Amino acid sequence: MDIQIGLTFCRFYESITPPDSYLQFAMSRVREFATHMSQSSRANTPKYTFSGYRLMGSYARGTAIRQGSDVDVIFEFTDPDSPSADDSLSLLIHLEERLREFPGGAVRFSRLREVVSVSFPGEVPVDILPCIKNEKNGYFFPGGSGRWATTYPDTQNSYFNDRRDAAEIDLSKFTRGIKQWNFENGGTLRSYHLEVMVAEVADKLGDDYSVATIRFYEIYASGLSVQDPAGQQGDLSDYLTARQRETVSTLMKNCRRTAHLAISAQNDGRYAQAVDAWTEVYGSSFSSLDKQ
């Protein structure tokens, strides 16, 4: 990679990376929530007992971006009854009710009714996934419509660690860049889906962020399907409509052409033109960088 362009990519990745304070403030809130959850409820003795929490998601994997990434946390509960019954909504409601007792934050269910989101002015929202640990070192969590779904964070972490080892570039940085591209273009692709897309082709991206960008678009312009590495959700692209698939595919093809123009410009020593082209690909976060 051209040295100047390489430095520009590094500055770009740095510019979209959340400062440490974002996570520090969020986890301070989480600790306060955990203390509150551990205290007795104003209501009758609850069915569920809080037993601990753990960070998960993009902040845990180092792939969060300043815009568009919430802090994801598991809140683990114990349940004297079997979680196999179709009553997971009661756990979600229990968490939501307890968090509403905590002053100052806005509390709401997620659109899919899987997590409770808590936000404070000027702070990164915290998405809390209430879970019950299962016998296979995974968790049951509310999967919508009262049913239980299953997640295996340790399996996911092992998968992403292996894929990072398979990459020649810093895969976390590249993932943040692709997430920023998605954010700048409407945020159609879900975060976990996008992370797995990048991870699946880690060994095909090479050692150059410019070329890696083109290869990513070349591979996925014709299809967005990838399987959940934890083996729970099947095809992670199932939420997309046919129209959304077509829109993202067209966007990738256009970005691939622009990325080729950017590489051509940088090969010719036309640095400013190259940065302009990469700005078309990755969005306004690139345009704020110094072209001198």
pLDDT at 126 over 50: yes
Residue 271 burial (CB count, 10 A):
16
Terminal CA-CA length for the chain: 18
Per-residue confidence (pLDDT) for residue 133, from 0 to 100: 87
Q: And the tokens for 266?
A: 């940088």
Q: And the tokens for 291?
A: 């072209």
Q: And the tokens for 280?
A: 């078309």
pLDDT at 289 over 60: no
Q: What is the mean pLDDT of residues 183-211?
A: 96
**How far is the C-alpha of 67 from the C-alpha of 290, rounded, in Å?**
21
Give the C-alpha distances (Å, rounded to integers) separating 163 from 122, 143, 170, 201, 202. Answer: 34, 27, 11, 8, 6
Beta bridge partners of 117: 108, 127
Helix 3-16 × helix 271-282 angle, to 10°: 30
Confidence of residue 291 (pLDDT cuts 50, 70, 90): very low
- Mean pLDDT across the chain: 89
Enter the pTM of the model: 0.90
Backbone φ and ψ for 150, nearest 5 degrees, come out as: -130, 140
pLDDT tens, residue by residue, 74-91: 999 987 665 555 678 888
